[in-house]
Structure 1
C-alpha cells in the first residue's frame, strides 16, 4: 500500500531527517526560538534516549521520516515523553501517525513496567494539548513533576499519564 506508515526504532541513518523534521516544525511552523545547539540530545540520540527504560522511534512513509517520539528514562519506573513531532501533512486521522507513535511508546513502556509518563510542551502546541488530553494525559503543575524530569526552557505546560 502506498503511504503505509512503519514504526521503527531509531538508528543513525535517520539522524539528518529527524533533526530536519523537528527543527522545521519548531522554527518554521511554530516560530519557537530554538536551535539544534539548544537540543544536544538530537545529536546523540542513541546515548541520550536509547538506554535503560528509554527509546526513540521514527515513523516512516516510503523510507522518509514523517514522525518521531522518544521516551527518556528518568528513573523510578518513570519516563519523560520527548520529541513527539509529526510532519504536517501526516497529522490527523488519514495517516494516524500521532496515535500510532503514542500508543507504540505506551505499549513499549507497559511491557517494561513503566508506571508513569510525563511530558512538557509549549503553549503554542494547542492541538498537541488536545491530543494528549484525549489520550489520557492529565495536566499537572510544574511542582508535581518527578525529580529528574528534564524541563526544557520552552516547556510551560506539563502532563502525566499513569500506565494501567
Structure 2
C-alpha cells in the first residue's frame, strides 16, 4: 500500500469509494452532483494550496483524505474515507498523520471538519486526535458545509 498525491487515473475509483461509503454504509444520501469538488480535484484542492491524498494497494484506491486551504492559516479536512476492509489496519491514522504534517509545515493554525452525526467511529477518532466538537455559531471562519445533519470539529495547531 502506498499513500500518494491525487492522480487522475484513480478519479473514478475515488468517486466510487466515496459514494459507496456515504450512501451504502452511512445512508446519508449524497449525490455526486452535490459534491462538485470530486469532479475537478485539482481545481478545488491542489491549485489553492490544499492537498488530496489517496492510498492505493495493488492498483485499488483503499483510502483518501484531503484538505482545502481557506487562507489565513485556515484549512478544512475533507473526504476522509477508508475502505471497510482496511479500517482495522491503521490506514486512517497514516493518512491523517501525513495530512497533519503538511498542515503544520504549511503554517496552518486552524483546522475544521464536518462529519455526519451517524459516523460515531469517526467522532471517536477525531476526538482522540485532539479535535473539539463546536456549534455552527462557533465557526472561526466562514465555512459552508454540504450536509446539515453533521457535527463540526475544530483543531488548533
**Structure 2 length-normalised TM:** 0.95
Q: CA deviation at 1:156?
A: 2.1
Q: CA deviation at 1:154?
A: 4.0
Judged with a 3 Å threshold, the aligned counterparts in structure 2 of structure 1 residues 155 and 82 are, in CA distance, closer, same or farther, namely: farther
Matched residue pairs, number?
Answer: 157
Q: Name the structure with the higher helix share.
A: 2
How far does the alpha carbon of each residue in 1:105-135 deviate from its partner, in whole angstroms, 9 at most, with x for none? 0001111111111101111110000011111
Secondary structure (helix, strand or coil) at the match of 1:131 reads helix
Q: CA deviation at 1:54?
A: 0.7
| Aligned ranges 1:56-135 → 2 under 5 Å | 56-92=52-88, 95-135=89-129
Structure 2 Cα separation of the partners of residues 148 and 9 of structure 1: 27
Structure 2 Cα separation of the partners of residues 16 and 150 of structure 1: 25
Judged with a 3 Å threshold, the aligned counterparts in structure 2 of structure 1 residues 109 and 155 are, in CA distance, closer, same or farther, namely: farther
List alignment gaps of at least 5 residues for structure 2.
Answer: none
**Structure 1 length-normalised TM:** 0.91
| Aligned ranges 1:1-164 → 2 under 5 Å | 5-92=1-88, 95-163=89-157
Secondary structure (helix, strand or coil) at the match of 1:37 reads helix
Structure 2 Cα separation of the partners of residues 98 and 129 of structure 1: 13
Q: CA deviation at 1:62?
A: 1.5
CA RMSD of aligned residues (A): 1.1
Secondary structure (helix, strand or coil) at the match of 1:49 reads helix
Judged with a 3 Å threshold, the aligned counterparts in structure 2 of structure 1 residues 147 and 86 are, in CA distance, closer, same or farther, namely: same
The answer to whether the 8 A contact 2:55-2:64 is kept is: yes
The answer to whether the 8 A contact 2:74-2:109 is kept is: yes
Structure 1 Cα separation of the partners of residues 21 and 76 of structure 2: 20
Structure 2 Cα separation of the partners of residues 88 and 50 of structure 1: 27
Structure 2 Cα separation of the partners of residues 45 and 19 of structure 1: 11
